[in-house]
């Protein structure tokens, strides 16, 4: 299994700032010891895609979208399609990030639709799962992860999932309620729902 190093820039960086940071990252990677098993992926704002491409030059660093809508085109104000991301040079996309779930009210069912459609359209997907502080304090961690994984993978055929195209990231909370992004976990689908055993493994990650 290859290693993946991903950086989500969220709502940060103008085009000039994004270009400079991408160039600095490319230079740093070029000077670092070779690590052929690790893939580096950036998730800049949509407005900075072209600037990031310019800054990266020939560096072997990928980039992707922070979100996607499950349709090829249409009257979906403010949204972006998989085709648009691919056309901009993206190879990856995030789905189900905690901020989209908890701040913007995105449901796990919608996250699942985005995940399946993005994979079908040729993007590699990072599906984010994780509990809110209230859910953890209520002792619902495993139930939350089970539901998020089940909905997130509901329409994803087993053959569409591989270590090259799909990852699950667990966003856990520390004691202050701040999000910790834990190491990548990859899962193979051998049935329609993730097993309780798998969810227990995710839940066993320390939250501090």
Residues annotated as catalytic are 97, 171
Rounded Cα distance, 128 and 95, in Å: 6
End-to-end CA distance of the chain: give it in Å, rounded: 27
Rounded Cα distance, 76 and 69, in Å: 8
Rounded Cα distance, 141 and 135, in Å: 6
Burial category of 134 from C-beta neighbours within 10 Å (exposed 0-12, middle 13-18, buried 19 and up): exposed
Residue for token pair 């922070």: 66
CA-CA-CA-CA torsion sign (44, 45, 49, 50): negative
Q: Which long-range contacts (CB under 8 A, 24 or more apart) does 32-35 make?
A: 35/3
Contacts of 29 (CB under 8 A, 6+ apart): 40, 59, 60, 61
Rounded Cα distance, 144 and 130, in Å: 8
């Amino acid at each position: 299994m290859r290693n993946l190093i991903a950086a989500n820039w969220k709502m940060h960086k103008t085009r000039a700032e994004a270009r400079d940071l991408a160039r600095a990252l490319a230079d740093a990677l070029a000077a670092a010891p070779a690590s052929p098993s690790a893939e580096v992926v950036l998730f800049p704002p949509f407005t900075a895609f072209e600037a990031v491409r310019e800054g990266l030059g020939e560096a072997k660093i990928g980039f992707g979208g922070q979100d996607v809508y499950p349709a090829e085109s249409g009257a979906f104000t403010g949204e972006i399609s998989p085709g648009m991301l691919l056309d901009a040079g993206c190879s990856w996309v995030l789905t189900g990030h905690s901020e989209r779930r908890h701040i913007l009210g995105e449901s796990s069912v919608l996250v699942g639709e985005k995940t399946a459609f993005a994979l079908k359209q040729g993007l590699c997907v990072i599906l984010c799962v994780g509990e809110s502080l209230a859910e953890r304090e209520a002792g619902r961690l495993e139930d939350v992860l089970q539901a998020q994984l089940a909905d997130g993978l509901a329409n994803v055929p087993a053959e569409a999932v591989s270590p090259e195209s799909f990852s699950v990231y667990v966003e856990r909370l520390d004691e202050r309620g701040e999000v910790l992004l834990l190491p990548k976990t990859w899962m193979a689908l051998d049935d329609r729902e993730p097993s309780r055993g798998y969810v227990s493994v995710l839940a066993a990650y320390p939250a501090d």
